[in-house]
Amino acid sequence: MCVDEDTISSSSHDGVVVDGVNLDEMREFAKQFKIRRLSLGLTQTQVGQALSVTEGPSYSQSAICRFVVYS
- The per-residue pLDDT string of the chain (71 residues; one tens digit each, 9 = 90 and over) reads 444 444 555 554 567 898 888 999 989 999 999 999 999 999 999 998 998 888 887 788 888 888 777 76
Q: Is 7 part of a structural domain of the chain? A: no
Q: What is the CATH number of the domain that holds 59?
A: 1.10.260.40
In a domain, 54, yes or no: yes
How many domains are contained in the chain? Answer: 1
16 found inside a domain: no
In a domain, 18, yes or no: no
Residue 70 lies in a domain: yes
Q: What are 47's strand-pairing partners? A: none
Does residue 5 belong to any structural domain of this protein? no
Position 15, amino acid? G
Cβ proximity of 35 and 68 under 8 Å: no
Model pLDDT, residue 12: 45
Residue 53's domain spans which residues?
24-71
The reported pTM is 0.66
